[in-house]
Amino acid sequence: MDPLPATPTRQALVSHLIRTRIAGDVATPRENNLDHYRELAEGNRYFWFGLDLGDRWTDASAVLELMAERCGVVADPEHVNGQDTIDPELTVDGLDRMAEVLRKAVEDRSTVLLASGHPAGLFAVHNVLAKALRAVGCQVVGPAENLYADGGEIRYLGGVFMLHRGGSLVHTHSPEPMAEVLNALERDGRGLPDLVVADHGWAGCAGARGIDTVGFADSNDPALFVGESEGSVLVSVPLDDNVQPHFYAPMASYLLDAADLRHRPAAPRPGGGGRHRPDPRTRRTRTRKTRD
């Protein structure tokens, strides 16, 4: 991502999200969203992103209701095809909640792991966060070598773990790459991170392992919003997770500023420490293309 622009106001960011279709009228069609909600409710583990949902979400209408509340999709169950939405106000609310968690991580000089299943989209945001967190004294986990999952190799680029297959970084929903990374950290005696910033199964797997996790999720990725509602994921920011990478720049700038990551000087890491969990009282609930 190019140098970040000046931090936008909330209203300017909302306008930008709508204009670039990160939120507002998004590219994911309604029928794709409903299909994914149905698959999650029917127990298709591919759509659980590594979370253990048991038999608590077997009603697709309940999943739709949750997604209307937390993501801003159209609440009407009779709306079954065509345009769907993400509420940009909920996107910014999610960024504010994520910023609270990041601010606490900086105060604690936490160890942070970043990962993405969207190397052509959200990687740009994760990369900016990795640089900013490292600059203020957080330890960013990585690299790791000779780790494999889902027929590919786990690669570490710009502070971010991703999956590589067939000569390219690949889009993945799978939790297996994150499981491989976390298992390797424990096996090597490095311990689990204090915080994970991720998306897709990278985030779901970390949350299922009891690690403080914040992430980004699209309107057709209900698992992370379900995880947020149950407490296994601290924050899920609703957005279109695969637009042009430079479109995310104002959003990244807003997030860094809200987390006080833009100008905070680095400080030495304190000795000792331990895993933290932010006060739950700080949490708040609330061109068509084919999508995976």
User: How many independent structural domains does the chain possess?
Assistant: 1
Q: Residue 74 domain-assigned?
A: yes
- Average pLDDT estimate for 41-45: 98
At residue 291, the pLDDT reads 56
Q: Residue 199 domain-assigned?
A: yes
At residue 281, the pLDDT reads 36
Tokens of 105: 């991580």
pLDDT digits (tens, 9 = 90+) for 132-171: 999 999 999 999 899 999 999 999 999 999 999 999 999 9
- Average pLDDT estimate for 54-64: 98
The CA radius of gyration of the chain, in Å to the nearest whole number, is 18
Tokens of 165: 């297959």
- Average pLDDT estimate for 93-122: 98
Q: Alpha-carbon dihedral of residues 71, 75, 79, 83, nearest 10 degrees?
A: -30
Q: Name the DSSP letter for residue 9.
A: P
Mean pLDDT of the chain: 92
Contact (Cβ atoms closer than 8 angstroms) between residue 232 and residue 225: no
Q: Residue 283 domain-assigned?
A: no
Q: Is 156 left (phi over 0), alpha (psi -120 to 50) or beta?
A: beta
Q: Residue 286 domain-assigned?
A: no
**pLDDT confidence bin for 262, thresholds 50/70/90:** confident
**pLDDT confidence bin for 287, thresholds 50/70/90:** very low
Please give the distance of CA 241 from its chain centroid, rounded to a whole number: 9
Side by side, the strands of the sheet bearing 148-149 are 148-149, 152-157, 160-165, 168-170
Q: Is the peptide bond before 143 cis (omega within 30 degrees of 0)?
A: yes
Q: Residue 3 domain-assigned?
A: no
Contact (Cβ atoms closer than 8 angstroms) between residue 203 and residue 196: yes
Q: Residue 1 domain-assigned?
A: no
Write out the E strands in 93-209: 111-114, 139-140, 148-149, 152-157, 160-165, 168-170, 195-199
H-only helix segments in 108-136: 123-135
Q: What residue numbers bound the domain in which 99 lies?
A: 10-261
- Average pLDDT estimate for 230-245: 98
**pLDDT confidence bin for 289, thresholds 50/70/90:** very low
Contact (Cβ atoms closer than 8 angstroms) between residue 181 and residue 154: yes
Q: Residue 290 domain-assigned?
A: no
Q: Residue 278 domain-assigned?
A: no
Res 292 pLDDT > 70: no
Residue type, 281: R
Pairing of strands 111-114, 195-199: parallel
**pLDDT confidence bin for 95, thresholds 50/70/90:** very high
CB atoms within 10 A of CB 189: 6
At residue 282, the pLDDT reads 39
Res 290 pLDDT > 80: no
- Average pLDDT estimate for 83-107: 99
Side by side, the strands of the sheet bearing 139-140 are 139-140, 111-114, 195-199, 212-217, 235-238
Angstrom distance (rounded) from CA 240 to CA 117: 13
Q: Which of 205, 225, 220 is nearest to 290 (CA)?
A: 220
Instruction: Average the pLDDT over each of 80-94, 183-197, 263-277 and give the range with the smallest value.
Output: 263-277
Buried b (16+ CB within 10 A) or exposed e, 109-121: bbbbbbbbbbbeb
> Between 123-135 and 88-107, two packed helices, what is the crossing angle to 10 degrees?
30
Q: Which of 233, 216, 201 is nearest to 17 (CA)?
A: 216
Burial class (CB in 10 A: 0-12, 13-18, 19+), 184: middle
